[in-house]
Amino acid sequence: MPDTLTITDNRTGKTYELPIEHDTIRAMDLRQIRVRDDDFGMMTYDPGYMNTASTKSTVTYIDGDRGILEYRGYPIEQLAEQCDFMEVAYLLIYGELPTQSKLDNWNESIRQHTVIHENIKEQMASFRYDAHPMGMLISTVAALSTFYPLAKGVRRHENRMLQTKRLIAKVPTIAAFTYRHSQGHPYTYPSNQLSYTANFLNMMFKMTDNPYTPDPVLVRALDILFILHADHEQNCSTSVMRAVGSSEADPYSALAAAAAALYGPLHGGANEAVLKMLNEIESVKNVPDYIKRVKSGEMRLMGFGHRVYKNYDPRARIIKRCADEVFDVTGRNPLLDIALELERIALEDDYFVGRKLYPNVDFYSGLIYQAIGLPVTMFPVMFAIPRTVGWLAQWQEMMEDEDQKIQRPRQIYLGKRERQVVPIGQRR
Ligand code: CMC
């Protein structure tokens, strides 16, 4: 059986045979389909890229119907169970899990870059006291590009690796400073004796000169949350990272753009929206009424549904387990009961079952972040820290991919044509 697709254009009666590779045809092969010689040729129309592969990739595999997520071929459940975040970061960037000595070197090479320039710190201090932490993170990451002008040399692998390490090291520092700023507290500098996640908690919560010892259960929970959020193939923000990167912009500018895409409530801002929703519902007894309003189209059930998963999001299952361990240390988040009731009713309801809407990664993560003591405005920032690794892994892959070009989609133009400009005084 030949690996080809035969298309008949009923406008002309002509038949075309297109090669199929990886169950895909190349969009450019459609361009030969035309009625007249001067036609532009056939295109596909795909708003939101519902069915368009923009790249070949070896980073993350998702089978949305079966609820499978793998990084570089390793199931997310095993990575969350057996690895810490830095091992997974190494895996995403280099493609293989590290040996102990490689992991030690990797940790050391990240630690060398955790401090940010004092001018950046001062720039952060000039934000208003109530600035949204995500807005601060986005603009501060963009500002980093002015400190590293050599980062523009994106064609050199060594240079890309240096900027990759810098970003993985500095994003948690900036993230913690956004929190300290919103609290009006002095910034706590990175402590390089601590692990990546323990250092982050230290920068967030250490208040005085007294040593702050983060609870190991919380450190582990944060490792798990970071692992689950580290990559998710060609999602909205990753596509932005690739789109901006495709113009050969420096990675700080590209990553700031990716973080901006993550900020929206339909993407990484959903965990913030979930907490707002749970607060608005207020009590378990109000859940049925809320579900009714969702079904009538008044609003969406935040933290539910996913473009790719048409089954339970495997990350949500792991987070739900993790939440119980965190609540043993922090005390139970009272909003959990509302979340559990929402999930219970939704999973039995024809509206949600029929549309294959299941809890996604954001449904429970906010409850953990809140139990750890974070305000809701920090939730998207907590998503951006680990996703930085995914964005960079995908950016590196794109920069080495000979198929990639500057991103430039087509449009179907339906506007007016060839009008004559009337002088302003004669216009009606
Ligand atoms: N609540 C109620 N109805 C929903 C929801 C929801 N959360 N999500 C989708 N639907 C309905 C939607 O109204 C539509 O119904 P109908 O066919 O009757 O018009 C149907 O399900 C298909 O929805 P869609 O909007 O075509 O699906 P999509 O793939 O374009 O959207 C989504 C995916 C994640 C944007 C959407 O499910 C959503 O808005 N969810 C809430 C926001 C959220 O939790 N986002 C986090 C995503 S996971 C973290 C991440 O990767 O960033």
Q: Is 379 in the pocket of ligand 1 (CB under 6 A)?
A: no
Is 235 touching ligand 1 by the criterion CB < 6 Å? yes
Ligand 1 mean position to 387 CA, how many Å?
21
330 lines ligand 1 (CB under 6 A): no
User: What are the pLDDT digits (tens) for 30-54?
Assistant: 999 999 999 999 999 999 999 999 9
User: Would residue 267 show up in a list of annotated catalytic residues for this protein?
Assistant: yes
**Buried b or exposed e, range 301-330, using 16+ CB within 10 angstroms:** bbbbbbebbeebbbbbbbbbebbeebeeeb
Q: How far apart are alpha carbons 82 and 133 in whole angstroms? A: 31
| 268 Cβ closer than 6 Å to some ligand 1 atom | yes
Distance (Å, rounded) from C-alpha 139 to C-alpha 129? 16
pLDDT at 4 over 90: yes
Single-letter amino acid, residue 276? K
Determine whether 22 is an active site residue: no
Structural domain contains residue 219: yes
User: Quick one: tokens of 334?
Assistant: 């009272």
pLDDT, tens digit, for every residue of 245-272?
999 999 999 999 999 999 998 888 888 8
Catalytic one among 117, 215, 267, 349?
267
Question: DSSP string spanning 97-157?
Answer: PPPHHHHHHHHHHHHTT----HHHHHHHHTS-TT--HHHHHHHHHHHHHHH-GGGG-TT-H
- Whether 412 is in a domain gets the answer no
And the tokens for 131?
């600035």
Per-residue pLDDT reduced to its tens digit, 6-32: 999 999 999 999 999 999 999 999 999
- Shared-domain flag, residues 246 and 317: no
Q: Answer whether 270 contacts ligand 1 (Cβ < 6 A).
A: yes
Asked if residue 233 and residue 282 are part of one domain, the reply reads no
- pLDDT digit string (tens) for 85-127? 999 999 999 999 999 999 999 999 999 999 999 999 999 999 9
Helix (H/G/I), strand (E/B), else coil: 321 = helix
**117 an active-site residue?**
no
Q: Residue 102 belongs to a domain with what CATH number?
A: 1.10.580.10
Please tell me the distance between residue 358's alpha carbon and the centre of ligand 1 in angstroms.
10
Domains held by the chain: number: 2
Helix (H, G, I), strand (E, B) or coil at 218: helix
Whole-number Cα distances in Å, 364 to 315, 319, 370: 10, 6, 10
Residue 300 CB neighbours (<10 A):
15
pLDDT for 271 equals: 87
Residue 26 falls within a domain, yes or no? no
Is residue 18 a part of any domain in this protein?
no
If asked whether residues 132 and 202 sit together in one domain, one would say yes
Q: 362 in ligand 1 pocket by Cβ < 6 Å? A: yes
Are residues 263 and 278 both part of a single domain? no
Same domain, 122 and 181: yes
> Do 207 and 275 fall within a single domain?
no
Shared domain for 210 and 349, answered yes or no, is no
Q: Catalytic: which of 306, 324, 337, 349?
A: 306
Q: Which domain holds residue 104?
A: 71-268+383-399
Residue 259 and residue 393 in one domain: yes
Q: Are residues 312 and 213 both part of a single domain?
A: no
Cα–Cα distance for residue pair 205/217, rounded to 1 Å: 15
Looking at residue 281, which CATH number applies to its domain? 1.10.230.10
CB atoms within 10 A of CB 390: 26
Read off the pLDDT of residues 136-190 as tens digits, 9 standing for 90 and up: 999 999 999 999 999 999 999 999 999 999 999 999 999 999 999 999 999 999 9
Rounded (5°) CA angle 306-51-346 = 20
Q: Calculate how far, in angstroms, residue 253's C-alpha sits from the geometric centre of ligand 1.
A: 29
